[in-house]
Amino acid sequence: MPNIELYGFDSDTECAKIVKRKVRKAVTNLGLEDETVITTLKVEVESLGMARTQFIRVCSDQQDEISDIIKGLKAVKIGCDVEILLISNFVSAENMQ
């Protein structure tokens, strides 16, 4: 299950709405909309120079999904830094009963 995390985006701003719309479009174009979650983390992200910044983290346990999502985000001109996190394993809720 891919997770696309948005860091430093206040979900009420127009910028965040545009980014979420582009992320949804990219994921839908890839046919991953039923598997992907979008997580918005309302945190302050600052560079060492103390400038506020925003970024996206793409997490999955499948390298091919990550690669496809990166291509999809490029195709919709996401315009943000993207960090990639390959997870070593994923345990579904179904298997946690």
- At residue 11, the pLDDT reads 67
Domain ranges in the chain are 3-92
Cα–Cα nearest to 67, from 89, 91, 84: 84
pTM (predicted TM-score): 0.85
- At residue 17, the pLDDT reads 87
Strands of 1-97 (E only): list them.
3-7, 37-41, 55-60, 81-86
- At residue 36, the pLDDT reads 95
The pLDDT tens digits along the chain (97 residues) read 899 999 988 767 788 889 999 999 999 999 999 999 999 888 888 778 767 778 999 999 999 999 999 999 999 999 989 999 999 988 888 999 9
Residues 6+ apart with CB under 8 A from 17: 11
Q: Which CATH number fits domain 3-92: 1.10.3720.10, 3.65.10.10, 3.30.429.10, 3.40.50.920?
A: 3.30.429.10
